[in-house]
A and B are shown apart, each in its own frame.
Chain A
Amino acid sequence: MSLVVDNLRVYYRTLRGDVRALDGATFTVADGEIMGVAGESGCGKTTLGKSLIRLDGRMRVAEGSVTLDGVELPIADDRAMDAYRFRSVSIVPQYAMSALNPIRRIGRMISELLSSRGVSYEETLPELRRRLALVGLSDDVLERYPIELSGGMKQRVVMVLSTLMNPSLLVADELTSALDVSTQKAVAEMLVEFRDRGFVKSTIVITHDLSILYQVADTILVMYAGKLVEKGSAAEITEDPRHPYTKLLIASLPEVGVRFEERRLTGIAGRPPSLLRPPTGCRFRARCPLATEECAVEPPFVELAAGRHAACWKVAA
């Protein structure tokens, strides 16, 4: 098992108390697996991604453990995580391509980043060049400033940089959201290629776009209001969703070919609950058409079949 997450609870400290952004995540990601994490705003997916690498000082790990390749990651300790960041665990955060320092040439930025990690730029340069060529970027990208590159090019640079040390785990947060459809495809396919070439072992792709996950992910984990609600292979989740939330979510996505006059899609009424004082029981209860008395008790995230999990009383085991 490459990555094992056990009952991870990560809260944000605020003036008014703890926001329970991630409340009990347990799952595994195997070597060579690309797992997609899907959900809407406030579901906790970004928190999950950031907590695996401890990127946000406001986070407080309340409980749980993360084990990578048999070694437990010190996710509660900023300093200790330093040794793992970029080498074992790497993240491409949201807005990464907009965060490139505009007054640094790409090559200079990379060399500064590498030296801050104790890696020699000169030694890594041949491999860096090879990978840039692999994703269709020429060497002179290193001489350019970020403003001279298109969104897709920047995203590719960021991806090459994040995987330069062949990390065991790559977390990609909303990698494709700000891109044009054609670039989205190229970047998503690049994720798969990196996995195929062994540049990364396991990948976690965080996005709100289920259809991208269907294209590139092996498994999909669906989250809602800080909890895991369903997990399975990409095909299973999209073709045979079991959890009511997943079902409703998929039913609300317009596909090319579906027209309003022919088949009117419906959304999910209501809003996700506040995570400051979350409701007891199933968090989807207020919006779920199948909710009954038993949903006042929180359903556990149980295994229905091999690799297939759901957290709902209504789902037959």
Chain B
Amino acid sequence: MTTRTERYAIAWLALITALLFSSPLRAQQNNSGETKGVRSGDYNVKQTIEFGYRDSMIDGNINNYDTFENLGSGVRLFNYTLDMQSVDHKGVFFDSLTFSNFGYGGDPNDVTRLRIEKNKWYDFRAMFRRDKNFWDYNLLANPLNPASSVPALAIVNSPHSMDLVRRMQDYNLTLLPESRLRFRLGYSHNVNEGPGFTTLDGGTEPLLAETFHYTTNAYRLGADYRFFPKTTVSFDELLTYFKQDNTVTDQNFPFVLSNGTPADLGIVFNTAGNTPCAKPIANGTTTPPTATANCNGYLAYNRIGRPRGSFPTERLSFESSYFRNLEMSGSVSYSSDNNSIPDFSEVINSWTSRTASRGSTVGGPSDAKRISVNADWSGVIA
């Protein structure tokens, strides 16, 4: 992974260096300290770049450090900006372009922002963000196993640790931004994915491996129309689609049954409280240790559920200061949210003493709906 991200960083640096030297840029400043930039064709161009190498030497609990900071070593693009302004406001494709980046090369947060506009015709904004979210903080989800338990098992890592990456893309285009009737188009793509752990209640608490994968696609269409002077009505059609493709499996089998079958007695050990049972280890001399046969535990667990959500929303809004002493704004929206899980499947091979359950297989569809209607109006009388 490190090699890949470093390769990305080097590619970025090469690209930016090429851009930097593509025109004879030499920073010049006027009396007010503002960078003047250089003339390139019809544009005034300003660029800044800050890159280098970060060396991190971390001692102690690395997982804790990564939970809070997660700043590693390597080549980094700390900042790059490009600003192009048409000198006579008559650029062929655009009059203004601003482009900024930071964090590339392995930092937990990478952001790119781009804005291009052409007077009267369009205003386009794009943003890409990548957010690494490493989490191993065992204060939460810690069962606080007592030291008197036999065996006594201290929880040193979070049972809900995760290493997720969220990538968010947002694109917004406004057409005819100066006109009486203007149009807005937008698209957002949000993916959050990565490995992690979770737990499950069922006699004991097995530590389950979960692969997270959430995807959201959002489409936006809107129009603003100035009906009268100082009165604008806006309509938005907002379509959001969400999908979840997580899988959950038990991959943690530190014990075996007497017949050699791998077993998971969970992470909660309080033998005085019969969790997972009064005497969970039948034979501690074997490798791995042999679990007691009638103890709460899991031999296999598998769960797949693929929720699919859709959120179509219509929104009508207005603002008006047409009347001399009365300013108003308001909106009404209707959203019918639907969440469908077509193929839930859960297969458990376990022993749960409190329900005398040997296992279960659950499957089938389910769905949920919600309708939201919002309306508001506000007025200010001067």
Asked if chains A and B come from one complex, the reply is no
Residues of A within 8 A of B (CB): none
Residues of B within 8 A of A (CB): none
